[in-house]
Amino acid sequence: MKETAFITLTNGFKDKLFRLAKRLLVSNEEAEDATQEILLKLWRNKTKITEYKNVEAFAMTMTKNYCFDKLKSKQASNLKIVHNNYQDENTSLQRDIEAKDSMSWVGKIMDTLPEQQRLIVQLRDIEQYDNSEIAKMLNMKETAVRVALSRGRKIIREQLIKKHNYGVV
């Protein structure tokens, strides 16, 4: 694979790699390091990449595994999984505060989800992957992905409704 073709290929999804790493590792610096490390690994093995049909899915799987390894390592004792990717502009101050509060609660609720559901909701609803792509990335059946996604969304929805109705979760 030529260098320009590789650069063009990875430019299409490097932001997705960063967002996934940011979601899993929290810290911008850690996510940038993870993204750079994955891109470096892809660069070193660019000749072998041609055997993969979906390089983007392969890179996302690499990122997920790298981040999990990082979280499991001893140096990651201060890292945890959270969500704060939401930005909304051109809204009133009150709506902006409400939206940020809701996103904060979604992040807190997502923290309570089982790891698999949390990852599937992240990949489907935030990264916009199809169920079939997620199934390949996670080595699951597509029906299992749909079930986990449905259960995760249901928990998030119920907890948000409970929070909005009563002010506490």
**pLDDT under 50: residue ranges of the chain:** 1, 74, 76, 79-86, 88, 169
- Buried b vs exposed e over 97-133: b needs ≥16 C-beta within 10 Å? eeeeeebebbbebbeebeeebbbbbbbbebbebebeb
User: Could you read off the pLDDT of 146-164 as tens digits, one per residue?
Assistant: 999 999 999 988 888 888 7
The reported pTM is 0.49
Residue-range domains of the chain with CATH: 1-77 (1.10.1740.10), 91-169 (1.10.10.10)
In the prediction, which pLDDT does 95 show? Answer: 76
* H or E element in which residue 159 lies: helix 142-166
